[in-house]
Chains A and B, each alone.
Chain A
């Protein structure tokens, strides 16, 4: 399942048939009963909510993408509506947590830090890649549409499979490498302020994958390293402590077929990055470095 599939898909009869052919065990029966109850509760909840919302003006309306390959009735993607009482300072994440804890405990999304450092909750909010915890409700048009990140496999509701993103990040040898360490005990490797300043923004990445999700090239070429991984390579390639021979290797990695040259400078990644990392600029700079480097060997 991918979010690229049009919202109203054909019925997934195959899957349904498969589960039905198995002889129902006690557990299956119990679960089926639970599902029926859950559905009933959901319907009842929707009625209650609608009444409540009508009575109370100060609520926000969320339309949240729902999908669960495991649950009959959720195998076909749908949108559920939640009315959440608005409080000042409320973020999209706060609203989702409220909806989950009050109305529907099966509403599923990743989150942890609530302060834009863990990178768990990048989502598609009103048509843009956002960190839910860093997006204020009162800056959004209602109803607020919340969907999983586009161009990724949806695991369930707002949770997407991150494996591909992690694979790309790890493909660029994302660790510091150097051949020279200082002699003295407790001696650090010196780094100039300018150089630290140069890599600073690139080290702020929280692996949220918003950039990858926004990138047309990545959507079309599954092997493209993507903005975050290239930025990670930049972080090391530009670090003066690594030394020339390591840099050489790094440039080879980012120059590969699915590397920097794929980027068509559309800036979508830079626009969505919640950490304001100038991704496109970094990619451009690496392209220039690569050209310079190739000229050296002419």
Chain B
């Protein structure tokens, strides 16, 4: 068993920032990550980091834009913290040497981004995330922070009082991928989850293969509510064979979308008569999918994004990296042919419920980054607002876990503040399928002290691994693709009652199939079959919560569209969806969105640009 004050799970932007902050506060901190830090998906972010750095800009404007973008489902205390602290955090990155793009006068460059009233997106070429990730990892190396890389965290070590808000977290159990051993990490100060996105719930995503939502699923099973899971951002232009993102820049420069008949459908089929290709992400995504569904897609799958008319010179000058992406990942030459594109899952607005200090409802358990829902993005994330979230809330969680006094939070967690029960009938069974054996166990054991608790959980995790290796049964890959298929078919940019119910039924079947899952590679060395099998369990839990939230929310807000009610319903739905695992019997409940900021209240307005 390993022991540290603070244990950070995940080494992307959020995890690295949290670890540095905890260390600066004097804690002995360690990072446990299934990937080496520089392999984290933060490295894929291209666009930039929003920060009100200039005199003509203000954090208030940034907060206003963010609230509007969130379709008034962001929580003002979190949004304001993000916008106030992002500038100093960006400057901190600069002081750590991050190679930002520069202006003539030597200051960092900023560019305009969708939904922003000021060009405040601070960037480093088309590789902002890569530079940010590497800069922070450099600081981790400099400080000598311990990193346990290629360790897959399996579960949290949490006490099991009836009421989750009475529980406490004492560490994690993890599997050493290289050596094939289970061990425990005890954390006397706190565990910070920073496990990133959950794109693998869908079969087509810009997210990495490792983005399986592990942290969210672990926290959920331990009793922390999942918040606003139904809010998923889809990006309209991703390459069909890999999901690699083709940036808005192409459409910004004049790129045109065509269907199979060569029609410029955004106009010709009336999806966006004013903005055409430049309409917002969700509008374009729905238009593309409608074309495909109505038989006007190419190979029944995608549409074409054409930039040839821009001319070679302009393309090479402004969109050169797009040419490389299309060629390397799709085998398409953007200079001589249109590029195939289709919508893909891109970002999860929801996740582990936290307050503005990163604390969850369970004492000693924190979350930050894409896995958390604090909530700054509400119903829809603005481009360039995820990276600042990593550094602002990563730092806050690190500081708090290391014992820094940060005052009373304004955002309640768990069923502590003003909440209401949903009383929603799902008609389909959800939650555990009765198999509480080691392969699908949940909750935490009772034990006299933290150490005993850890020992018991390590033992249980070992049994689970042994069992998965010893059993005969089904390959996880078929179960995972069944989940991804139904999610993509029924819980994508189009959501309607029947399809959502269908997805819950399919997920039920997948859960049942998972009780028979087995790992066929018996090896103790780098057993990725085993890791992927454990991840698939997490994907299942998350997919179900996502579909439940989507079914319950009968309105169109942000990225969530419902056929039955295609408009925002502020009267009934200015509230967050929460789902508690309840030891296997998921329960849906709500809490109000907090629109009262420090100095003003954000009154809901129509979200139009």
Instruction: Give the distance to chain B from A242, nearest Cβ to Cβ, in Å.
Output: 8
A257 is an interface residue with CB less than 8 A from chain B = no
Partner of B35, one of A31, A112, A189: A112
Contact assessment for A94 and B38 in the assembled complex, using a CB-CB cutoff below 8 Å: no
Contact assessment for B210 and A191 in the assembled complex, using a CB-CB cutoff below 8 Å: no
A114 is an interface residue with CB less than 8 A from chain B = yes
Interface mask (B293-335 → A, CB under 8 Å = 1, otherwise 0): 0000000000000000000000000000000010111111000
Q: How far is the CA of A58 from the CA of B263 in the complex (A)?
A: 32
- Contacts A117-B130, A206-B130; is A31 near B328 (CB within 8 Å)? no
In the complex, residue of chain A having the shortest beta-carbon distance to the beta carbon of B244:
A115
A126 is an interface residue with CB less than 8 A from chain B = no
A181 is an interface residue with CB less than 8 A from chain B = yes
Question: Which one of B133-141, B221-229, B570-578 is at the interface?
Answer: B133-141
Interface mask (B75-97 → A, CB under 8 Å = 1, otherwise 0): 00000000000011001001111
Chain A residues whose CB sits within 8 angstroms of the CB of B100 once the complex forms: 188, 196
Question: Which one of A5-13, A63-71, A76-84 is at the interface?
Answer: A63-71
Q: How far is the CA of A232 from the CA of B228 in the complex (A)?
A: 42
A116 is an interface residue with CB less than 8 A from chain B = yes
Contact assessment for A105 and B520 in the assembled complex, using a CB-CB cutoff below 8 Å: yes
Contact assessment for A155 and B178 in the assembled complex, using a CB-CB cutoff below 8 Å: yes
B240 is an interface residue with CB less than 8 A from chain A = yes
B43 is an interface residue with CB less than 8 A from chain A = yes
Instruction: Give the distance to chain B from A292, nearest Cβ to Cβ, in Å.
Output: 24
Contact assessment for B520 and A175 in the assembled complex, using a CB-CB cutoff below 8 Å: no
Partner of A70, one of B97, B332, B524, B528: B524
A203 is an interface residue with CB less than 8 A from chain B = yes
Q: How large is the interface on B (under 10, 10 to 19, 20 to 34, 35 or more residues)?
A: 35 or more
Contact assessment for B522 and A35 in the assembled complex, using a CB-CB cutoff below 8 Å: yes
Partner of B41, one of A27, A90, A113, A155: A113
Q: How far is the CA of A174 from the CA of B198 in the complex (A)?
A: 31
Q: How far is the CA of A116 from the CA of B324 in the complex (A)?
A: 11
Chain A residues whose CB sits within 8 angstroms of the CB of B108 once the complex forms: 188
B36 is an interface residue with CB less than 8 A from chain A = yes
Partner of B44, one of A105, A115, A176: A115
Q: How far is the CA of A170 from the CA of B139 in the complex (A)?
A: 11
Partner of A106, one of B329, B331, B521: B521
Partner of B331, one of A108, A116, A136: A136
Q: How far is the CA of A117 from the CA of B94 in the complex (A)?
A: 21
Contact assessment for B520 and A38 in the assembled complex, using a CB-CB cutoff below 8 Å: yes
Contact assessment for B241 and A155 in the assembled complex, using a CB-CB cutoff below 8 Å: no
Q: How far is the CA of A193 from the CA of B101 in the complex (A)?
A: 8
B102 is an interface residue with CB less than 8 A from chain A = yes
Contact assessment for A155 and B526 in the assembled complex, using a CB-CB cutoff below 8 Å: yes
Contact assessment for B36 and A189 in the assembled complex, using a CB-CB cutoff below 8 Å: no
Contact assessment for A68 and B525 in the assembled complex, using a CB-CB cutoff below 8 Å: yes
Instruction: Give the distance to chain A from B534, nearest Cβ to Cβ, in Å.
Output: 13
Instruction: Give the distance to chain B from A44, nearest Cβ to Cβ, in Å.
Output: 13
Partner of B38, one of A111, A192, A206: A206
Contact assessment for A118 and B41 in the assembled complex, using a CB-CB cutoff below 8 Å: yes
Partner of B39, one of A119, A138, A186, A241: A119
Q: How far is the CA of A115 from the CA of B206 in the complex (A)?
A: 9
Interface residues of A in 261-290 (CB under 8 A from B): none
Contact assessment for B241 and A90 in the assembled complex, using a CB-CB cutoff below 8 Å: yes
Chain A residues whose CB sits within 8 angstroms of the CB of B522 once the complex forms: 31, 34-35, 38, 70-71
Chain B residues whose CB sits within 8 angstroms of the CB of A220 once the complex forms: none
- Contacts A70-B523, A106-B520, A156-B526; is A193 near B102 (CB within 8 Å)? yes
Question: Which one of B386-394, B424-432, B469-477 is at the interface?
Answer: B469-477
Interface mask (A134-161 → B, CB under 8 Å = 1, otherwise 0): 1010100000000000000001110100
Contact assessment for A193 and B523 in the assembled complex, using a CB-CB cutoff below 8 Å: no
B605 is an interface residue with CB less than 8 A from chain A = no
Contact assessment for B329 and A105 in the assembled complex, using a CB-CB cutoff below 8 Å: no
In the complex, residue of chain A having the shortest beta-carbon distance to the beta carbon of B99:
A203
Contact assessment for A118 and B39 in the assembled complex, using a CB-CB cutoff below 8 Å: yes
Chain B residues whose CB sits within 8 angstroms of the CB of A118 once the complex forms: 35, 38-41, 43-44, 208
Contact assessment for B41 and A112 in the assembled complex, using a CB-CB cutoff below 8 Å: yes
Contact assessment for A88 and B241 in the assembled complex, using a CB-CB cutoff below 8 Å: yes
A296 is an interface residue with CB less than 8 A from chain B = no
- Contacts A89-B331, A175-B142, A200-B99; is A186 near B91 (CB within 8 Å)? yes
Q: How far is the CA of A101 from the CA of B536 in the complex (A)?
A: 13
Chain B residues whose CB sits within 8 angstroms of the CB of A236 once the complex forms: 97
Partner of A203, one of B88, B134, B527: B134
Chain B residues whose CB sits within 8 angstroms of the CB of A241 once the complex forms: 97
A215 is an interface residue with CB less than 8 A from chain B = no
Instruction: Give the distance to chain A from B364, nearest Cβ to Cβ, in Å.
Output: 29
Interface mask (B328-353 → A, CB under 8 Å = 1, otherwise 0): 11111000000000000000000000
Chain B residues whose CB sits within 8 angstroms of the CB of A214 once the complex forms: none
Chain B residues whose CB sits within 8 angstroms of the CB of A117 once the complex forms: 43-44, 127, 129-130
A199 is an interface residue with CB less than 8 A from chain B = yes
A30 is an interface residue with CB less than 8 A from chain B = yes
Contact assessment for B99 and A71 in the assembled complex, using a CB-CB cutoff below 8 Å: no
Partner of A134, one of B131, B329, B523: B329
Contact assessment for B242 and A114 in the assembled complex, using a CB-CB cutoff below 8 Å: yes
Contact assessment for A186 and B475 in the assembled complex, using a CB-CB cutoff below 8 Å: no
| Listed A/B pairs (14) with beta-carbon separation below 8 Å | A34-B469, A88-B241, A88-B331, A89-B242, A105-B529, A106-B529, A113-B39, A118-B35, A118-B39, A136-B331, A157-B526, A170-B141, A175-B138, A239-B99
Q: Could you list 7 further interchain pairs (A-B, Cβ under 8 angstroms) beyond the known A112-B35, A166-B36?
A: A38-B520, A88-B241, A89-B241, A120-B39, A181-B95, A203-B99, A203-B134
A residues at B contact (CB < 8 Å):
27, 30-31, 34-35, 37-38, 41, 68-71, 87-91, 94, 100-102, 105-106, 108-120, 133-134, 136, 138, 155-157, 159, 162, 166, 170, 173-176, 178, 181, 186-193, 196, 199-200, 203-204, 206-207, 236, 239, 241
B residues at A contact (CB < 8 Å):
35-36, 38-41, 43-44, 53, 87-88, 91, 94-97, 99-108, 125, 127, 129-131, 134-135, 138-139, 141-142, 178, 180, 208-210, 239-244, 325, 327-332, 466, 469-470, 472, 475-477, 481, 519-529, 532
